A and B are shown apart, each in its own frame.
Chain A
Amino acid sequence: MSLDLTIVWALLLAFFVAMYVVMDGFDLGIGILFPRLPVGKERDMAMNSIAPVWDGNETWLILGGNALIAAFPVAYAIILPALYAPVIAMLLGLIFRGVAFEFRWRDPGHRRWWDAGFFLGSLTATFAQGITLGALLQGITVEGRAYGGGWWDWLSPFSLLVGASLAVGYSLLGACWLIWKTEGDLNARARRYARILLPALLVAIGLVSLATPFLEAKYHERWFVWPGLLLAVPMPLIVALVAYGGWRSLAGKRDFAPFFWVLGLFGLSLVGLAVSIWPDVIPGRLSIWDAASPRSSQLFMLVGSAVLVPLILAYTAWSYWVFRGKVGEESYH
C-alpha cells in the first residue's frame, strides 16, 4: 500500500496551524495585554521582545492558508465564505497590529493611537480566530461544493465562547513570554497577570470541552463511547496536572518554564480538538479524502515541504537565538 498523502497533508496542515497558534499566539497576547502595561519603558520592552520575530510568526498563518487551498481546495472554498466577516475582521486586525510595530516609533506624538491600534488589532484578530474555530466546530452549511448558509451563521454563543477563550489563552502565552524575556517590574507584572489568566484559561478549556460534545452527535460518540472514554477520562486529569505544573512554575526561578507549561496546555487542547474532528477537514461535513487535491499536487508540495520546513525551522531558531536573553532595560538610558 502506498503512503496516503492525504493523511500526511492533514498532519502537516495541523502542524502549520499549531505553529501559528503557538508563535503568533504570544505576539497577539502581548497586544491584548498592552493597555495594562504602563506607558513608557515597559510598553517599549514588551514591544521590543517580539519586534524581531513577529513577522516570521505571522508567516505560519499564510502557510496555513496556502496549504489549505493547495491540499484541500474545496475546504478552503467553503470555509472562507462561511466565515466571511470574521476572516475580514481578522485581516483588518492584523493590519493594525502589524503596522503598529513600525508606526509607533515613527510618530511619538501619536504613539497612543498606534498603541491602541496594536491592542485592538491584536484583540480583533484573536477573537476572530477563535470565532472561526467555534463556527467550524458547531458546523457550517454545505451545498454541493460551496457554502450554503447565511453570512451571520458563524455568530453563536459557542463561537463567542471560543473567541473569548482564545483571547485568554493568547494573553496567558503573552504574559509567559514576558516572564521569560524581561526582568524587573515588567516581569513581576507579567507574573501577576499569569496568575489570573492561568485559572481563567482552565475554566475556558473546561467550558469549551463540556460544550463541544453536545454540538454534534459525532463528537459525543468520540468522547463518551468506548474506546473514546479511554481518552475522555484521563484527559481532564492530564490538563489539571499540566496546569498545576504551570502554576508552580509561576512562583519558580526558571523564567522560561511557565511558557512551556502553557504550551503544554495548548498542545493538549489541540489534541482534544483533533480527536473530535478527525478525519474531517470541515467537521461533520467533509472528510480529508473528500476534499483532497490530486496526488500530483500533494506530492509536489510534499517534496518542497520535506526540504524547506526543516530549513525554515532551523533559520527561525537561529533568528530567535540571535535575539536571545532578556530585553535589556539598561539600554534605555
Chain B
Amino acid sequence: MVPEPKLSHTAALILKAIHAGDGYGFSVMEMTGLPSGTVYPAMRRLERDGLIRSQWERQAIADADQRPPRKYYKLTRTGQTAREASERRYPLLAKLAAEEVERR
C-alpha cells in the first residue's frame, strides 16, 4: 500500500485552493488570504515535489482578452491523492474552501 503524503496546513490549503479555484497564483492568494511571499514559494515547492504542474496560457486567448498570458497550476495525480489525504487530516479545510467558492 502506498503511504499517503503528509502536508503542512499551508501546503494543504494551497492545494485545496488550486483544486477549487482558477489555478493561478493570485486566485490562490484571494482564496487562502495568504500573502504572495508565502503562496508563490509554496507553489514552487509543490511543483518541485510533483504535486502540481504548471502550464502557460495560450497567447491567442490572452490576446483576445487584451491581457498578458498567465501561468496556470493544476494538481497532478499525486497531488489529488495528497489533497484527499490532507482533507481527511484537516477537516476544516473542505469547509473553508467551500465557503470561499460560494462567496465567489
Asked if A and B are interacting partners, one says: no
Interface residues of A (CB under 8 A from B): none
